Amino acid sequence: MNKLNKNILTDRWDSDCFPDKETALRICKDTKILTKYIPHPFSGHRPLPNQKLSTIETNENGWRSPSVINKKFKKNIILLGGSAAWGFGATSNKQIPSYLIEKILFNKYELEYNVINLAEQMYSSFEELQSFVSYADELTPSAVICLSGFNDSAQAYHNVFKINIMQTRWTKFCLWSLKIGLLNENNFFKKIFKILIRSYKKKFIFNENYYVTKKPKKKEIAVNLFENKVAWISSYCKNMNIPVAFFLQPDLHFKKNKSLHEKNYLNTFNYSNDLNVFKPEQSESIVQSLLAIESKFFKNPLNDKNQLFCSLLDVFSNFKHTIHIDRVHFSDEGNKIIADQICTKITKRFDL
């Protein structure tokens, strides 16, 4: 194995695309520590509702979006995706993709749409689909936008299909609570007793087969996840005559003119958790999965007036300065570039 000099390890919060280090650390704290999450019966997990942090706010549904009770406009667009679409790394809710798309559509194209952000951290296409199915009937969208791809590829690398880290953590906690008799115990003192006396019991090993009946081969997971999402959402949208646009999110690997920070971070990304052992297969696996998704859905897209496939893998290639704070998250400027590209494509393709 090759060894990496620790002196060149690059933390994403050291990116020179942030206004200053203080802002970067504030975003980091809000994103990784202060934002509180709970299990969600429809889409796996969501932040607690009505959180107001310095860089992140959630509405009454836990979405990083304005309230849907008193909406600004009459018509809605739904945005689906993972952390990139959610706005990981943005300095405020006014710099995330959904807000910027809404602003550009109004200011540049004189189109009045609420862009409702159903994206969330760690969501793969499976959670995107769950969110869409759960809320499409209530939000009655006039268009749907999906911005994703990386998390499906990461799922494939880790050889997991329709589960994620959040679900695994809560399942283990639930099983531990059940095993020591804590889950259904109402007496406070008995709860304390069971935690102190019985918590030594061995952990229950949970088999992934509980969640799925037919798991794809590892190299097929990413395409399978993406394909299921496209099939279900496209079918619904076709039946309801709703335009739907799928965008393959940017990835630092494909940016042709990388800044120094971006080069160093991409090297760091290839290392294991202890950042000592070189693991080029991680980056290569994700790249191959992204290329497989791009090849199947974006190279020869279906000729449908109400459907759009657009790859943004290398959308930042003309920019020599830092856009990426890490491999798949971007500066405020990067979010604006993505939002502008999305607005340009959908207004050209669809009669909004």
DSSP 156-205: HHTT--S--HHHHHHHHHHHHHHHTT-TT---HHHHHHHHHHHTTSPPPP
Rounded CA-CA distance 301/244 in Å is 13
275 pLDDT exceeds 50?
Answer: no
pLDDT band, residue 273 (cuts 50/70/90): very low
Share of the chain above pLDDT 90, in %: 74
210 pLDDT exceeds 50?
Answer: yes
50 pLDDT exceeds 70?
Answer: yes
Sign of CA dihedral 123, 128, 133, 137: positive
Where along the chain do its domains lie? 6-162+212-349
Rounded CA-CA distance 27/43 in Å is 25
4 pLDDT exceeds 70?
Answer: no
Q: How does the average pLDDT of the chain come out, rounded?
A: 90
Q: Which of 168-182, 270-284, 293-307 has the lowest mean pLDDT?
A: 270-284
Phi, psi of 195 (to 5 degrees): -65, -45
Residue 97 in 3-state DSSP? helix
Share of the chain above pLDDT 70, in %: 91
Rounded CA-CA distance 22/91 in Å is 11
Mean pLDDT to the nearest integer, 81-101:
98
pLDDT band, residue 8 (cuts 50/70/90): low
Cβ pair 348, 342 in contact under 8 A: no
Rounded CA-CA distance 326/250 in Å is 11
Q: What is the DSSP letter of 13?
A: G
Measured distance between the N- and C-terminal CA atoms of the chain, rounded to whole angstroms: 54
pLDDT band, residue 195 (cuts 50/70/90): confident
Q: Which residue in 219, 215, 82 sits closest to 157, CA to CA?
A: 219
Q: Which residue has the tokens 């639930």?
A: 174
118 versus 265: the higher-pLDDT residue is 118
Q: Which of 2-6, 68-72, 149-153, 265-269 has the lowest mean pLDDT?
A: 2-6
Q: What is the DSSP letter of 207?
A: P
192 pLDDT exceeds 90?
Answer: no
* pLDDT confidence of residue 281: 67
3 pLDDT exceeds 50?
Answer: no
* pLDDT confidence of residue 51: 98
Rounded CA-CA distance 88/15 in Å is 14
Residue 245: C-alpha distances to residues 26, 53, 313 (Å): 33, 31, 15
303 pLDDT exceeds 90?
Answer: no
Helix (DSSP H) and strand (DSSP E) numbers for the chain: 11, 7
Mean pLDDT to the nearest integer, 305-322:
96
Q: Which of 80-84, 216-220, 262-266, 309-313 has the lowest mean pLDDT?
A: 262-266
Rounded CA-CA distance 346/21 in Å is 36
pTM over 0.95: no
Q: What is the CATH number of domain 6-162+212-349?
A: 3.40.50.1110
Q: Which helix (H) or strand (E) holds 248?
A: strand 244-248
* pLDDT confidence of residue 189: 82
205 versus 94: the higher-pLDDT residue is 94
Rounded CA-CA distance 270/287 in Å is 12
Mean pLDDT to the nearest integer, 312-320:
97
pLDDT band, residue 34 (cuts 50/70/90): very high
Angle between helices 280-293 and 221-240 (to 10 degrees): 30
Question: Left if phi > 0, otherwise alpha if psi is -120 to 50, otherwise beta: which for 44?
Answer: left
Residue 75 in 3-state DSSP? strand
* pLDDT confidence of residue 1: 31
155 versus 204: the higher-pLDDT residue is 155
Phi, psi of 47 (to 5 degrees): -70, 160
